[in-house]
Structure formats: structure tokens, C-alpha cells
């Protein structure tokens, strides 16, 4: 469904994404991980058409996104940005309905098909009770669910999410990712996401790509990547993988001695 070919993105003289090749199969979830500055956001923004690459190309469903007009591209790929901007005073229903703009344009009203698509997404994401609420009054979890709903309302086969759990507590992180997972399983949506939380990346994605300095370091099944020693090397920290109820939990391990340990050691030496 997604094919990235030798994609290179620069900012001035700095290479942010360096000749990346990536293929994401239809109806699967691929998460890009990596340390800060690895190029994760740049990569997914390029796939969504927000960044113009210096070299290479992005293809979705056999179509090159490069020459497409913005409106045409919005019918193919939907983006959930890390820091979405919501117009003030807008109700949840109206905000979700903005996802249909790519289909009916700015100057024409929504059709019955557009309204039906919005209703279906609001139902699937359990936003019915919030439909008339001002988005600004929502909690963080409700707001992010609304942003995801707008992307799904576009009716695209591919959804790109850049750190969708930013600012959410643990419960709302899990709830949001479960909703996205349902879209993959039940609706056949193809997801390309970035996540900082390695445990969540491993538990929800089918596949993980580890990026560092703009290059692909690891690319494989989620369970294999989170257990690869290269992961700790690239994050430059000690990591331990613990299996809990059949799922991998990635735990960062502090390697420096604690103050209490140091004090006890010093006291023991003095004696």
C-alpha cells in the first residue's frame, strides 16, 4: 500500500531523511521509532505530503503522490499531526466533518454520503455524546480521539499518525491505540505511525522500523525489533525486555549507582 523509494529530505545542509526505502503492506500497522532527531516526523510528514523530498518518491496504492494536487492527495492519505490545530468555537461534529472537505471542496456543501461517512466514524470512535461539544472544552483523550476521527472521515486507505499519544495519560494512550488497532483489523486501514513509547510500539504495531540519523537501522516484526540488542545501542541506554502476560514490556534500566548506594559504599570504605 505504501512504498517509499530512496526518500531523501534536507533542511538546508542537514540531511533529515537519508535515502530511505520502506514498504508497508495493505491492512497492516507499521510504527517508526528512534531517538530524538532520528528523522521520524520528517519521514511520516513526507509520506503525508507535508514535506517535499529532495530525492526519491512516495507511492500509495500504485500512485506517485509527488505530482498530485493537495486535494487529490488528501483522498489517499490522512494525517494526524503531533500538534493539531483546531479552529476556535468548533463543535466536534463540524471538526470531524472537515475530513470530508477533500471530497466535496470548500465551496460546495456536504452530500448525504459525506454526512453518512461522518456519522459512521463518530459512531465507531464513540463520539456521539460529544458531537455538539466545543472541541476546546474536551479532555486531552477526547480531543485526540476527535482528531483521529477527522482523519478517518477522509475515507483514505492510509492513515499517518505522528506521536498520537502525546500528552495523554496511560489509560487514554491505550484507549486511543486500541481504536486505531480496530480500524486496521476491522476496516483494513493501513497505518504508518511514530511513537516514543517502545512498549506501546511493540504491542500495537505489526511491524517496527528503527530510524537513526535519518537511516533505517532495523525493519521487521515488532517482537523481533524490540528484542534486538541494536535497539539499546541506538538509544544509548540500557534496556530490558520483560514478558508480561505474553506481551513484551520494554524497561529502561538505570546503570548509574544511586546516591544511597554510593553513600553506603563510601561509609564501608571509611571503616
Q: Running along the chain, 271 residues long, what does each successive block of 10 average in pLDDT?
A: 94 93 96 96 93 93 90 92 89 95 74 92 94 94 94 94 92 94 94 96 96 96 94 94 92 76 51 46
DSSP 153-170: HT--SEEEEESTTTT--H
Q: Quick one: pLDDT at residue 193?
A: 97
Q: Quick one: pLDDT at residue 259?
A: 60
Number of residues written out for the chain: 271
Domain boundaries, the chain: 2-76+156-234, 78-155
Q: Quick one: pLDDT at residue 111?
A: 84
Q: Quick one: pLDDT at residue 8?
A: 97
Q: Quick one: pLDDT at residue 107?
A: 59
Q: Quick one: pLDDT at residue 87?
A: 86
Rounded to the nearest 10°, the torsion over CA 225, 230, 232, 234 is: -110
Q: Quick one: pLDDT at residue 253?
A: 92
For the chain, the C-alpha Rg in angstroms (whole number) is: 21
Fold of 2-76+156-234: Rossmann fold (3.40.50)
Residue 206 burial (C-beta neighbours within 10 Å; 0-12, 13-18, 19+)? middle
Of 44, 68, 61, the C-alpha closest to 1 is: 61
Q: Quick one: pLDDT at residue 264?
A: 55
CA 23, CA 168: separation in Å to the nearest integer? Answer: 30
Q: Quick one: pLDDT at residue 219?
A: 96
Q: Quick one: pLDDT at residue 198?
A: 96
Q: Give this prediction's pTM.
A: 0.89
4-21: b or e for each residue (b if 16 or more CB lie within 10 Å)?
bbebbbbeeeebbbbebe
Spatial CB neighbours of 66, under 8 Å, sequence gap ≥ 6: 53, 57, 58
Residue 112 burial (C-beta neighbours within 10 Å; 0-12, 13-18, 19+)? exposed
Amino acid at each position: 500500500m505504501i512504498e517509499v523509494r530512496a526518500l531523501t529530505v534536507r533542511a538546508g545542509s542537514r540531511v533529515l531523511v537519508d535515502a530511505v526505502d520502506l514498504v508497508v503492506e495493505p491492512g497492516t500497522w507499521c510504527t517508526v521509532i528512534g531517538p530524538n532527531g532520528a528523522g521520524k516526523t520528517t519521514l511520516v510528514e513526507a509520506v503525508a505530503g507535508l514535506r517535499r523530498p529532495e530525492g526519491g518518491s512516495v507511492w500509495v496504492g500504485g500512485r506517485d503522490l509527488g505530482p498530485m494536487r493537495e486535494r487529490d492527495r488528501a483522498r489517499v492519505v490522512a494525517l494526524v499531526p503531533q500538534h493539531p490545530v483546531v479552529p476556535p468555537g468548533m463543535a466536534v461534529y463540524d471538526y470531524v466533518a472537515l475530513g470530508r472537505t477533500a471530497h466535496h471542496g470548500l465551496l460546495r456543501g456536504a452530500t448525504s454520503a459525506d454526512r453518512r461517512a461522518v456519522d459512521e466514524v463518530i459512531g465507531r470512535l464513540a463520539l456521539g455524546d460529544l458531537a455538539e461539544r466545543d472541541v476546546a472544552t474536551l479532555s486531552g483523550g477526547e480531543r485526540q480521539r476527535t482528531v483521529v476521527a477527522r482523519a478517518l472521515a477522509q475515507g483514505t486507505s492510509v492513515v499517518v499518525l505522528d506521536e498520537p499519544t502525546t500528552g495523554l495519560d496511560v489509560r487514554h494512550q491505550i484507549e486511543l491505540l486500541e481504536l486505531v488497532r480496530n480500524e486496521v483489523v476491522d476496516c483494513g486501514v493501513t497505518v504508518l505511525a511514530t511513537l516514543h513509547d517502545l512498549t506501546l510500539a511493540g504491542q500495537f504495531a505489526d511491524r517496527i522500523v528503527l530510524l537513526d540519523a535519518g537511516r533505517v537501522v532495523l525493519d521487521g516484526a515488532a517482537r523481533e525489533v524490540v528484542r534486538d540488542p541494536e535497539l539499546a545501542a541506538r538509544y544509548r541506554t540500557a534496556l530490558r525486555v520483560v514478558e508480561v502476560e505474553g506481551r513484551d514490556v520494554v524497561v529502561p534500566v538505570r546503570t548509574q549507582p544511586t546516591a544511597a548506594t554510593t553513600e553506603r559504599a563510601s561509609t564501608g570504605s571509611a571503616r
